[in-house]
Amino acid sequence: MPSTASSPRAAIRPGSGVAAAHRTVLVVDDDADAVDAIATVVEDAGYDVMRAANGREALQRLHDSEGRCDLILLDLLMPVMNGWDFRRRQRETPAFAHIPVFLMSAGAHLSVVRDELQATGCVPKPVDVAEILEVVKRQCR
């Protein structure tokens, strides 16, 4: 097995217990405070995080990273481009279609929307950052 000592991206971060730094999560939400809270917890656990305030920005982040993303945490209700439109465009783009999406929304019919959008899962808002971190750990193995 090759040594990981020469690769800082493969290094295990203190306290994380996993070699997570090579995994990237995209957090898409128009609530800047929510994005900051989620991103901080996920980054502290050793994952890379991209941030976007709406679906259009999220598509641009995916394009800029050449689709290198392991999980998308997606709000549904956003200005400019909402979660439904983002998810449609994501699924239509071969380079991004494979990336799992976890929905974050306050809607009462979240499980129905999850099925409609073929999302991996969902978390009700307000989100519990510990729950989000568990989702990230499960999805980014």
Closest of 4, 54, 62 to residue 28, by C-alpha: 54
Q: How far apart are CA 92 and CA 104, in angstroms?
A: 21
Name the band, by pLDDT with cuts 50, 70 and 90, for residue 75: very high
Q: Any idea which of 8-17, 88-97, 120-129 has the lowest mean pLDDT? A: 8-17
The pLDDT, as a whole number, for residue 19 is: 44
CA 133: distance to chain centroid?
A: 10
Q: How confident is the model at residue 10 (pLDDT cuts 50, 70, 90)?
A: very low
> Does an H or E element contain 27, and which?
strand 24-28
Whether residue 30 is predicted with pLDDT greater than 70 in this model: the reply is yes
Which H/E stretch holds residue 26?
Answer: strand 24-28
